[in-house]
Amino acid sequence: MSTDYLVNITIPMLEGAKITILLFLIAIAFSIPLGFFITLLSQSNNKVISGISKSYVYVMRGTPLLLQLLFICFGLPMIPVIGEYLVMDRFVAACLGFILNYAAYFSEIFRGGLLSIDKGQYEAAQVLGFSRSQTTIKIILPQMFRIALPAVSNESITLIKDTALLYAVAVPELLHFAQTAVNRDFTIVPFFIAGIIFLLLTLVLTAIFRWLEHKFKFE
């Protein structure tokens, strides 16, 4: 097996990895704020609003991501009357699916962070005269994000691997090119290369989150 061959099959896979990374970045950038918003809704005193938030999380966590992706890509366009307006670019559709799904997980992570904050923090803020929104922004949220960080890190690593699900909706990403090379050349080497690329991505992510956790250690 020549070096040329390795380079030849790796280049398209790296191209595919670009899609993987792009999807990852878009999903993270939108699902974290959306997840946080869902957390806030879940804390609402209004039963309808908190109910909507809970149902959303239940549905998104309770069904496979793959099913959700297939539904958005192929299911929505089949809906009578409005279906024709719901045809999206596959990549856009996939991004939407990932954002909606991961937002549910992130919202639960943030909710866990909120629950673990001692009620003494709220009382201290109250006697110092903080308003509700000042308490949330200055006292509660920074602590919530810090508590959530390890779980967010874990979820992000899951996300980068889940991007492989793009394969199922025929968006050419890393795994697609690996599979193509395997079929064409009858060799398992591309699978190893794909694995190594995923490991490298995970390594970078792990390092970033380690750094964040260290930076926000509050010690």
Partner 1 sequence: MTIIQVSNLQKSFGQLSVLKNITFDVKKNDVIAVIGPSGSGKSTMLRSIIHLEKVDNGSIRINEDDLVKNGIYPNDRKIKQITHKMGMVFQHFNLFPHLTVKENLEIAPLVVQSEKIEIVRKRSTEVLEKVGLSDKANVFPAKLSGGQKQRVAIARALMMNPDILLFDEPTSALDPELTGEVLKVMKILAQEHMTMIVVTHEMGFAKEVANRILFMDNGEIVESGSPEQLFSNPKNERTKSFLTKAYQ
Residue 72 is classified by DSSP as I
Q: For the chain, what's the residue count?
A: 219
Nearer to partner 1, 18 or 138 (CB): 138
Beta carbon of residue 62, minimum distance to partner 1 (angstroms, whole number): 34
Q: Using CB under 8 A, which of the segments 31-39, 41-49, 57-65, 127-135 binds partner 1?
A: 127-135
Nearest to 104, CA basis, from 145, 157, 65, 74: 65
Q: Using CB under 8 A, which of the segments 38-46, 61-69, 122-130, 174-182 binds partner 1?
A: 122-130
Q: Give the residue, chosen from 63, 121, 158, 206, that forms a contact with partner 1 under the rule CB under 8 A.
A: 121
Residue 137 is classified by DSSP as I
Q: Give the residue, chosen from 4, 118, 186, 215, that forms a contact with partner 1 under the rule CB under 8 A.
A: 118
Q: Give the residue, chosen from 4, 127, 186, 215, that forms a contact with partner 1 under the rule CB under 8 A.
A: 127
Q: Using CB under 8 A, which of the segments 138-146, 177-185, 189-197, 200-208 binds partner 1?
A: 138-146
Contact residues for partner 1, defined by CB under 8 A? 118, 120-121, 123-124, 126-131, 134, 138-139, 142-143, 146, 216, 218-219
